Amino acid sequence: MLPILEGSGLQCSKDLKSQRAVCDFYLAFSPERIDPGNRRFALADIPKIVGGVNSASAERARRLYERVFKRVMVVSSTQTAEMTKLLENICGAVNIALVNELKLICRRMGIDIWEVIEAAATKPFGFTPFYPGPGLGGHCIPVDPFCLAWKVRQHGMTTRFIELAGEINTAMQNHVAQTLVGALTAQGKAVKNSKILILGVAYKRDVDDIGESPALKIMQLLLEHGAAVSYNDPHGPQLPRTRRYNSSIFHSTPLDSPALEKFDCAVLVTDDSAFDVAHIVEKSWLVIDTRNATRSIASTSGKVIRC
C-alpha cells in the first residue's frame, strides 16, 4: 500500500501535528479478530492489535480504534501486527492437525479420541483442548498457514511443520469420504448411486458462511464416486457458486422423517444446534458423525459411525 500511495505524490506523515492534511496520510495495519457465531465476546471486548508504518500512523490508528474497542495494543510495525494474526491462526491450524492425526491413530487402536480429550482437559495447566473434525473452514485458518509459507520462501526458508499441518487438515475430507464408502460396503451397498445427505455445509455451527467449508470438498468427492448428493443446512436454503465448486445446483432438503428415510446415509459435517440429532439417528439408515454430536445417544448396532 505504501509505495502505491506515495507513487501518487502523497507523503506518509510522520508528524501528528502536520497541517498538510490535504496531501499527507497515515498508514497502519490492524488484523481482523472475529469468531462468527461466538456470543461470548462482543466486538468491543476483543483487544485490537495495531501496527503503523511509523509511530505517528500507529498513534492515529490507536485513537481511532479506542472509540470502539476497550483495549488497543500498539505493536512496533505493520509486519508485527500481521504476523500476530498469522501466529493466532496457525496455532489453531497446527493444534487441530495434531488432534486430527491422533484421531486417526486412536481409531486404529480402538481408543475413543473424544474420551481422551475430555480426560486430558481436566489438567489445570499445560493443556488446551482442541477437537478433531472433517477439516478446517473459514477465510483465515485454512489459508493463513500457506500465506506464511509463500512469504517465507521469499526469504530462502521453508515451513515444513506448518505445511504438514495444512496437509493433514486438508486430507480429513478424504478420510470422511473413505469412511462413508467403507460403512456402505459393510452394509452391502456401493457408494455409486447411493443417496447421501450432507448435514451442515457452513464451515462451523450456527453460521451461514461456507468459505473454505470442508463440506464442499466432501460433496465433490462423493459426486465423483457417483453418489446422489443432497444437503440440509438451516442457514443456507441454496448454496452460492464458489471459485472451486458449482455448489449453486444444490438446494437444502427438508429434514422430516420421510426425507431422512429415503437416504442411504446421512453425514453430519457441521453440528448445527438446530439439528435434532436423536431424531436424525432414529430415522436414518446410517449416520457418519464427524463432530461427535451423537456422543449422548446410545449405541445403535453400528448405525452410527463416529468418523
pTM reported for the whole predicted model: 0.88
Instruction: Give the residue from 255, 250, 243, 188 showing the smallest Cα distance to 219.
Output: 250
Instruction: Give the residue from 166, 168, 183 showing the smallest Cα distance to 288.
Output: 183
Write the single-letter amino acid at 34. I
Q: Over the stretch 169-179, which tens digit does the pLDDT of each residue have?
A: 999 999 999 99
Alpha-carbon distance of 105 to 109, in angstroms, equals 6
C-alpha cell at 121: 482437559
Report yes or no: 265 and 277 within 8 Å, Cβ to Cβ: no
Q: Over the stretch 43-98, which tens digit does the pLDDT of each residue have?
A: 999 999 999 999 999 999 999 999 999 999 999 999 999 999 999 999 999 999 99
Question: Domains in the chain, please, with CATH?
Answer: 2-76 (no CATH), 81-160 (1.10.1040), 173-306 (3.40.50.720)
Catalytic positions are: 140
Report yes or no: 143 and 212 within 8 Å, Cβ to Cβ: yes
Instruction: Give the residue from 254, 264, 261 showing the smallest Cα distance to 282.
Output: 261
